[in-house]
Amino acid sequence: MPELPDITVYVERLAAKVGGSMLQRVRVLNPFLLRTAVPSISQAEGRRVVGVERLGKRVVLALDGGLFLVIHLMIAGRLRWFAAGAKPPGRIALATFEFDGGTLVLTEAGSKRRASLHLLANRDALTAMDPGGIDVLSADLAGFQQRLSAENHTLKRALTDPRLFSGIGNAYSDEILHRARLSPVALSHSLSAEQVRALFDAVRAVMTEWTERLRAAAGDWPDKVTAFRPEMAVHGRYGLPCPVCGAPVQRIVYADNETNYCARCQTGGKLLADRALSRLLKASWPRNIDDLE
């Protein structure tokens, strides 16, 4: 799922391409995409884009007259830019937004249709859609600590909770926790003041560095938006060496996601139980990273 760095670059490139331009036509190509009926999507046509914003992991086009188009890409949704008159891709295209200078196309890979489009009537409706997570790049340490300690969850769950922190998902939470040298299953109430500070610094550093990296790589448009990048330290790198200590990156698999971590850097060498695999191996399940070497 595109997270804060990816969404920020989308917003910046969209602002450069369509800011001040008239949205001539909206075509919804999949009936499951549009989640609002009032105002009618046709009411977005003929309006100028007066701003482009990020709302958590959503891209927002602010239109004159007070309307807001809200695009949530979910896991497999992507935004693509085509020259005016170019034919959009077939089966994966969910919607097109036509401007004088080109066409914005919302696509979604795979068979599951999770991406969504809302047209909202005013700023109050947009505010109501905000889960409430704080902007981690503008928050101070006190505000960050208050959110972190609001509930006693694992750090992985806390960082990815949109009610607590805005724009952090599965990929960058792994990178943040590795940078902070903290276990993904450590409880938020168990952290010392020094560990909270380390986590705060890691959040800001990882999100800033990756936003700058993706911004530089995007060129005219970010065509390669993915949660798996070879430059990442641990996310998506199960079995590969940790760039800090060289130990093989480990994982915890659950549902459709997995958490990647370095046992030596983050858990004192302890291997965290993978629910399925540890049950299968039972007594043979290794307890320490050194048992694997």
Nearest to 56 by CA among 114, 120, 8, 113: 8
Residue 287: predicted pLDDT:
62
Which CATH number among 3.40.50.10380, 1.10.8.60, 2.170.190.11, 1.10.8.50 corresponds to the domain 141-292?
A: 1.10.8.50
Low-confidence stretches of the chain (pLDDT < 50) are: 277-285
Are 207 and 172 contacting, i.e. CB atoms less than 8 angstroms apart?
yes
Q: List residues bridging with 62 in a β-sheet.
A: 51, 68
Backbone angles phi, psi at 75, to 5 degrees: -85, -50
Name the residue with tokens 């700023």.
Answer: 123
Where in the chain are the domains? Answer: 4-129, 141-292
Backbone angles phi, psi at 71, to 5 degrees: -110, 120
- In terms of CATH architecture, what is 4-129? Alpha-Beta Barrel (3.20)
Look at phi and psi of residue 45 and say left if phi exceeds 0, alpha if psi is from -120 to 50, else beta. beta
User: Cα(264)–Cα(267) distance, rounded to whole angstroms?
Assistant: 6
Residue 277: predicted pLDDT:
47
Nearest to 129 by CA among 53, 63, 204: 53
Tell me the two tokens of residue 72.
């949530």
Name the residue with tokens 């004088």.
Answer: 100
User: Cα(250)–Cα(178) distance, rounded to whole angstroms?
Assistant: 12
